[in-house]
Amino acid sequence: MESKMQVMVALGAAVGVNCIPCFDHLYGKAREVGLKDEEIRDIVETAYKVKNGASNFLKGAIDEQIGEVDITEEPCSAAKMECAC
């Protein structure tokens, strides 16, 4: 995998695990490999969609398990077992 792609994946992972020091370090690497701020924003936005979708799916599963069915449709649907990311 080329270094630009590695940095892009790592940036998304840093957002996914809420690691500010990782993001700060990788932001510098992203600039070194030629990523523009707009591209970095897109990576962050995609990572948030995946992260928040997984969180919503977990909440829906827990609510269903304890009898409180309030399944969130965006960005992922626990009812349909699919992600709209």
CATH of the domain at 52: 1.20.1290
- How many separate domains does the chain show? 1
Bond prior to 21 in cis (omega within 30° of 0): no
Give per-residue pLDDT as tens, 19-58: 999 999 999 999 999 999 999 999 999 999 999 888 888 8
Residue 71 has pLDDT above 80, yes or no: no
85, 46 Cβ separation under 8 angstroms: yes
Which pair of tokens denotes residue 40? 């970095």
69: left (phi over 0), alpha (psi -120 to 50) or beta: beta
The range of the structural domain enclosing residue 21 comes to 3-83
Residue 77: beta bridge partners? 82
Mean pLDDT of the chain: 85
Number of helices and strands in the chain (H, E):
3, 2
Residue 2 has pLDDT above 90, yes or no: yes
